[in-house]
Amino acid sequence: MLFSSSTFLFLFLPLVLIIYYVPLRKFRQGQNLFLLLASLGFYAWGEPWFVLVMICSILVNYGFGLWVDRNKRRGKSCRAPILLALLVNLGILFVFKYLMFTLSILNGLGAHFVIPVIELPIGISFFTFQALSYVLDVHRDRGQVQRSPLKVGLYISFFPQLIAGPIVKYETVADQIDHRQESWEDFSAGCARFVVGLGKKVLLSNQLAIIADRAYGMAGDGLTTSFAWLGAVAYILQLYNDFSGYSDMAIGLGRMFGFHFLENFNYPFAATSLADLWRRWHISLATWFRDYVYIPLGGSRVEGKARLIRNIFMVWLCTGIWHGANWTYLAWGMLNFALLMLEKYGGLGRGWPRFFKWLYPLLVFLLTCVFFRSDSIGLALRYLQAMFGFGAGLGDGLTVLYLTECWLPLLAAALFAAPVAPKVRAWANRRGWVVLDIGYALLIAGVFLVSASFIIKGTYNPFIYFNF
């Protein structure tokens, strides 16, 4: 079930809110049980069989959490339950996400495996990492073990962040499962945040996807330089508004139920270095790898540059692999690692004028995303060739047509990607402009009505990060 669907907006969400706040208003355990059942139903709506995979993940990791806690209380080593938890969770992820890819590689090397057709459960990378976070945080004393499997189930399956993040570490919400405080202020702020994300998704990302899909579909087949650049710009704006929009909706939904999730984006396109950009993009994934991969390897406290480079390399290797079973994701990860090392140790961007320090990480992001978006390395290289003048010419009428038709969502998407709105609100608040709050409320209402009309019409509505 998509957040940007009429079923979710006009049936599922209102029904869940009514039941949560009316008959169950003062019954926390009942609210938690209801949210768990609603979340499993939400997932089963589109994945009726794969909900069993999630239930198994919940029960298995509930058991691992108890095992870790028991060993700690008895003064025993937690190595066995931790290693087994890693093996089971990553094993499930490998079977569903990487087995077919691995077998195809082995067949290319001369093996003769029969490659099974394995359907990918939506959001398996997200809920698998959350399940691991529960076990690891119990081990690190970052959250109390849960004696009830229902509470572990709520943490892993909670529908706002279930299928496309943000990845919520257990330590950030462990106390909120039983002790969150709902308020009208949180609820109204959550509604506004949800509508902002809905607008990003429906009014911007979906429109820009039309340009990006057309351009990338033409790679190596009549793609001109101008349309290749337009398609690349449209894609990074689509990607940002799609994923940050979903994160906005998830954070907003969480606040409606009293949960406070950490931010997942912080205007990455305003960064003035590549390292700064990646600190601002998909923050929940970056912090997950920092806490559970980078720091356990020694982080930045290791002796010698070689070990530090190794640690950063491992993070980017894992990041590329996490995104999917395709050489393009691995190439994307390794390119970013190499450029980050060039920035850290080679002086890339050091001492440059501020404009160029802002421009170069944006260009790097745009160019490396060609690999992220393309279906193969070959198609990515052909797309880059077109961008640098080795395509079907420099310009064409298609570029003019799409610029004429889509200039408004392109401009709006660029504005949403820049920290314009918070600066305007901060400036107005310093002057006590109450009228701005009224205007903001009217704008939110307008965004919801227009987005709802697009949804009812059944416009193009993919979610990029559902694939992960």
Active site members? 323
Concatenating the DSSP letter of every residue in 303-326 gives SSHHHHHHHHHHHHHHHHHHH-SS
Q: Which of 276, 277, 278, 263 is nearest to 422 (CA)?
A: 263
Q: Which of 330, 174, 159 is nearest to 252 (CA)?
A: 159
Inter-residue contact 371 to 335 (CB < 8 Å): yes
- Burial degree of 101 (CB within 10 A; 0-12, 13-18, 19+): middle
Concatenating the DSSP letter of every residue in 183-248 gives -HHHHHHHHHHHHHHHHIIIIIIHHHHHHHHHHHHTTTTT--HHHHHHHHHHHHHHHHHHHHHHHH
* Cα–Cα distances in angstroms (integers) from residue 18 to residues 15, 43, 186, in the given order: 5, 20, 16
Q: Which two tokens stand for residue 156?
A: 């892993």
Q: Which two tokens stand for residue 394?
A: 């420099």
Q: Give the count of alpha carbons within 13 A of 402, CB side only.
A: 22
The dihedrals phi and psi of 273, each to the nearest 5 degrees, come to -160, 160
**Whole-angstrom distance, CA of residue 1 vs CA of residue 280:** 28
- Helix axes of 434-457 and 184-199: crossing angle, nearest 10 degrees: 50
Phi-psi map region of 141: left, alpha, beta (phi>0 left; psi -120 to 50 alpha): left
Q: Is the peptide bond before 166 cis (omega within 30 degrees of 0)?
A: yes
Phi-psi map region of 318: left, alpha, beta (phi>0 left; psi -120 to 50 alpha): alpha
Phi-psi map region of 163: left, alpha, beta (phi>0 left; psi -120 to 50 alpha): alpha
Within 10 angstroms of residue 452's Cβ, the number of other Cβ atoms is: 17
- Burial degree of 321 (CB within 10 A; 0-12, 13-18, 19+): middle
Residue 266 CA to chain centroid, in angstroms? 13
Q: Give the count of alpha carbons within 13 A of 248, CB side only.
A: 23
The dihedrals phi and psi of 35, each to the nearest 5 degrees, come to -65, -35
